[in-house]
A and B are shown apart, each in its own frame.
Chain A
Amino acid sequence: MLTNKLLSACLGAGLAAAFAVSASAADITGAGSTFVYPVLSKWSADYNKQTGDKLNYQSIGSGGGIAQIKAATVDFGASDAPMKPEDLSAGGFGQFPVVVGGIVPVINVKGIKSGELKLSGKVLADIYLGNVTKWNDKAIADLNPGLKLPDSQIAVVHRSDGSGTSFNWTNFFSKVNPDWKSKVGEGTAVNWPVGIGGKGNEGVAAYVTRVKDSIGYVEYAYALQNKLPYVLVENAAGQYPKPNADSFSAAAASAEWGKAQDFYLIMTNAPGEKAWPITATTWAIMYKEPKDAERSKAAFAFFKWALEKGQKEASSLDYVPLPETLVKQIEDYWTASFKG
């Protein structure tokens, strides 16, 4: 009697589980970067409308995304920092960029409007090192003749949580300031020499808004939304482009993707004349020979749609479409590297 009951209960549970699996088999699952979450959720809604396929994305952070794809619990992981080619081949992964965005320094200094202040990457890094501590420091004044700079302490704001935004920011510093490279280095979280930490882009934006004479860095969209004055940063060509879709895509276009194995290239300090120097991308990481080919195929169909048709929606959220040449390279990479 009891065993019968147990048996039927087990059967019932098993059936329910089977149904749950078959229902979610069509769902593409992904996890990782919070940077791409807004655009991925927009894409997934539109894609679902057009094809009926669903995307279930958990924005748990880039490190978490890599851990999840390594554990094969998701169809793709998304990371703001690329995996090294040797790590990719060791794990049997391939990776490709999905979307481009810009990171901009923002300030709250009385009397200085958006785009008025110019800083070189080296001076910016010196501010974050604590070497330049006052707004009217000679290093800043030399770059800004004619701009009235206050005699006040610079309040530095950085991210308190590990993030791809910090990774690109510190990567840029490491490229342009040898002192930064040897003392601090690059990473999603680093040992910040000075400053206070805000949690997330919104935390940094809130601190910069609140704290007088502060400087911070946020994704471009947050600078726009919070109407924070941005700073112009010198690029590798010695120019000071404005941060906007044009300069971000100029950076993406001028980066030498063709030479980068597995798209292992960090776009900061890109060589183009009009390139915004702190441009970032997010990579999708997938198995080259997935256990479940069907689901992997569904994920590729989604990314193909996203790269070809979804980039317009990305622009409406202040991300930048990938340049066409890069899309072509990615599709070639798919056919060359991935099975199915």
Chain B
Amino acid sequence: MSEALASLPAVGPEVKRRDGATGDRIFNWVVMGCGLFVLAALLAAAISMAWGGLLAFRTFGFGFITGTEWDPVAQHFAGLVPIYGTLVTSALAMLIGVPISLGIAVFVTEVAPRWLRGPIGGAIELLAGIPSIIYGMWGLFTFAPFMSDYVQPALIDWLGPIPGIGLLFSGAPMGIGMLTSGIVLAIMIIPYISSVMRDVFLVVPAQLKESAYALGSTRWEVVRDIVIPHTRTAVVGGIFLGLGRALGETMAVTFVLGNTHNIAISLMEPGNSIAAAIANEFTEADTDIYLSSLIALGFILFVVTFIVLAAAKLMLLRMAKQRGE
């Protein structure tokens, strides 16, 4: 407590007070400019993509979203395959990445001995700094062979015969495909989610936690009933930051997804994603309608991301309402 008091600015006769009105106004304008810049950039991106994709939307209509054909020779394009691939790989990434991130954050803030917190925190930040092309190459040359030799045959043997779930784990163990992409994406988004979670877990008032411990709560109960409810807004925010990255990730996915215009139930099968399709085909898209279709895919990715974020916001609002805030 005394530390906090000492850090407050000393107010006394020796401090000269100036009229801050002008400075304050300039400051307001500057920060408002920064805020508007985000809106302007977002709006400009959305408009230019919608404009670029207009030709494709006009030509193919609603079928552009529901159709599965992608034929550059016949100049007929529809985007359901990459849309599906984007959603499935991102969902897989969240399914794997969120629990692990939560575990990391809880370990670092509540369980780990003090000397271990620094190194793990540093490792998380380093992981976030690795360029995605490195993840892609690692995924293709190191992780995909491991998946095809050990993980996928085991999954096919164990889970394949189960009715229902088995459909997800059928096919040839090629090492690349939806599952591998989901895992690589999960590794890529873990640093983002876990560092946000760690930072917000650290600001949970010690009195709350200590009171709970004093009442005999276990660590798990403290995390479940004190830490997470106290920080849920920020935690959900962190999760959606990771999801946004997973949806838009390009290079790593291009390497390990298989780039096939194909919708398959099995997670072992290759597929395509919006970002990967654009990265692969943009350079040689030599007709207007081809280029427009790729830009239209970009616009759809934009809309999907927007919907996801809006859903997150709604969820937070509802949670706040339930708690009567």
**Which residues of A are in contact with B by a Cβ distance under 8 Å?**
60-64, 66-67, 153, 155, 160-163, 184-192, 195-199, 203, 206-207, 210-211
Which chain A residues border B270 with CB–CB below 8 Å?
Answer: 196-197
B286 interface neighbour in A67, A163, A195, Cβ under 8 Å = A67
- Whether B255 pairs with A191 at a CB distance below 8 angstroms is no
Taking a contact as CB atoms closer than 8 A, the residue among B73, B141, B260, B284 that contacts A195 in the complex is B260
Interface size on B, residues (CB 8 A): 29
Task: List 8 additional contacts besides A160-B259, A162-B284; criterion CB under 8 Å.
Answer: A63-B285, A185-B73, A187-B73, A188-B286, A192-B261, A196-B258, A197-B259, A210-B148
Q: Report B251-286 CB contacts with A as 1/0, cut-off 8 Å.
A: 000110011110000000010000010001101111
Contact between chains at B259 and A196 (CB < 8 Å): yes
* In the bound complex, CA of A303 to CA of B280 (Å): 31
Known: A206-B140, A210-B144. A196 touches B285 (CB 8 A): no
- Binary interface profile of B, 170-198, with partner A (CB < 8 Å = 1, else 0)? 00101110000000000000000000000
Chain B residues contacting A207 (CB-CB under 8 Å) are 176
Residues of chain B contacted by A61 (CB below 8 angstroms):
283-284
Which of B134-175 touch A at CB < 8 Å? 140-141, 144-145, 148, 172, 174-175
Chain B positions within 8 Å of A, measured between CB atoms, are 69-74, 140-141, 144-145, 148, 172, 174-176, 254-255, 258-261, 270, 276, 280-281, 283-286
Residues of A within 8 A of B141 (CB): 206
CA–CA, A191 to B270, complex, Å?
15
Q: A185-B73, A191-B70 are in contact. Are A62 and B258 (CB under 8 A)?
A: no
For A162, the chain B residues whose CB sits under 8 A away are 72, 280-281, 283-286
Could you tell me if B148 and A60 are in contact, using CB atoms closer than 8 angstroms?
A: no
- Shortest beta-carbon distance from A84 to chain B in Å: 13
A-B contact pairs, 29 of them (CB 8 A): A61-B283, A63-B284, A66-B286, A153-B172, A155-B174, A160-B276, A161-B281, A161-B283, A162-B286, A184-B73, A185-B74, A188-B284, A190-B71, A190-B73, A191-B71, A191-B72, A191-B73, A191-B74, A195-B260, A196-B174, A196-B258, A196-B270, A197-B260, A199-B255, A207-B176, A210-B140, A210-B144, A210-B175, A210-B176
B280 contacts A160, CB within 8 Å?
A: yes
A64 CA to B140 CA, complexed, in Å: 28
Residue in chain A with minimal CB distance to B261: A191
How many Å from the CB of B46 to the closest CB on chain A? 25
Which of B70, B144, B286 is in CB contact (< 8 Å) with A63?
A: B286
**Chain B residues, Cβ within 8 Å of A184:** 73
Given A191-B74, A196-B176: A203 touches B258 (CB 8 Å cut-off):
no
In the assembled complex, which residues on chain B have CB atoms less than 8 Å from the CB atom of A203? 140, 255
